[in-house]
Chain A
């Protein structure tokens, strides 16, 4: 598989007065075309900083990011911004409360000049239907929707741009578990149907197990392990990965056995 996005020795340092914080430290990895790559880690691991650099919100302090084999500039063009989209954790704050759902979905179509002007209203309806919402929700305000419905709108907005890469930043963490299952299902189906590529940022390893093809584990700004999901959960190489999986609250006896086995290995190696 070819790399859609490549990070090459990327670092990011934030300075605050005389303080220097190295949020991301010499990180290199590829995101392959069509895959779902999970980025996991705890707070302070640098996972959001990586997302922000991929999106071009700020450039890396050192290193380069290439998209489709072409170096991404610090100042992104409109085309770059269209090609890489974001779905955030809290749809209530990522959707403009003063704008109807339809207007929020229409805006990217207008900005990027997608489709005939006359066809755009119909396109908004289609987008809503693609994420499992009735087309007439276009006239609603975000606060007239439930959390799950709002997240679907945020996903539809990312789809509107016909982007290649979607960065999902904790897309289901704020949702109830039944709603989460349905939104994850939708994300999975959309990726398959449209050949999308996901960078899925989360702290929730049980979600990762069921949606990601590969997992990148970050600890304090460093990439400590990058492996296929199967490997991460059956034979994690890095002690930090084992500790993370060992701390996941689980609901079945099978999961407890898996967790115990990994922690046993951890103690043996220690």
Chain B
């Protein structure tokens, strides 16, 4: 069996501050196989975004961060890489899509120029003409009606949905093996969000890109991910295939979280505790969703 695209084992994170160390992650383990869409779902402060930042190698430089455990990307232990090598992975082998597309794009450069920068990450010598051709093809892939016009536009001239498509096209332009999507589409209208997600799903399926999908929205997760990890206060509490987990949530926290989502079929607003000791119950692993053995 080939190594998973991403393997996280017993990852811990603490921040050292004036009042001592604050522990944020308490030993989380997860993996993503090639072409798999895996969601990390939790509330704000659960540790989902910092996990993404560690995978990208962005927190390692922070002097106050204390990171333990192991993160392997395509079989390579990230902690053995120099900062330079980690930097070289970003935007080429792994890329990221952020929540708010409009603020992720630079408003003083045209989309075309920013796209050129992205393509230069993988191919430093790429010519203006080649970059433009590639960018047009990439924008056509995300169903942007007039790619040439989009490339000559500034981000503020495009709608939020269009900007999100541009971000997706940029993130996938260098054919990364891992795409990290942090709350994509949360800032968009529901109809636009639905379109963007299905577009993104088709594309990653086509390229067999592995995805780490970070979200607090259970509905979006159910529709996008093959497998789900539920994270609560820096601990994974339940993991399983989406279909199993949503049909049969077993951990008290997952159950509360799911029960709290208002239904379009009605049923009123449930009575739920926002804190409970039972939320710290041991992790539940659904059948066939164990972490791979120590090898890997």
Name A residues whose Cβ lies closer than 8 Å to a Cβ of B: 42-43, 147-148, 176-182, 184-185, 188, 203-207, 209-211, 233, 243-255, 258-259
Contacts and interface: CB of A to CB of B under 8 A. Distances in A.
Nearest to B46: A176
Interface string B265-296: 11111111110000000000000000000000
Given A176-B44, A203-B190, A251-B219, A209 B266 contact: yes
Shortest beta-carbon contacts, A-B, top 10: A249-B219, A42-B189, A176-B43, A247-B194, A181-B260, A206-B262, A247-B190, A247-B191, A249-B220, A178-B274
A251 B258 contact: yes
Nearest to A182: B274
B264 A250 contact: yes
B123 interface: no
Given A188-B269, A250-B219, A42 B260 contact: no
B23 to A, nearest CB: 19
B272 A181 contact: yes
Given A207-B262, A210-B262, A248 B190 contact: yes
A182 B267 CA distance: 15
29 contacts: A42-B190, A42-B191, A176-B44, A177-B257, A178-B257, A178-B274, A181-B260, A188-B269, A205-B190, A206-B264, A209-B262, A209-B264, A210-B263, A210-B266, A210-B269, A233-B265, A244-B190, A247-B191, A247-B193, A247-B194, A249-B193, A249-B194, A249-B219, A250-B263, A250-B264, A251-B246, A252-B263, A254-B265, A258-B264
B190 A182 contact: no
A242 to B, nearest CB: 11
A181 B263 CA distance: 12
Contact of A182 (B191, B257, B272): B272
Central interface residue in A43, A178, A179, A245, by most chain B CB within 10 Å:
A178
A251 B222 contact: yes
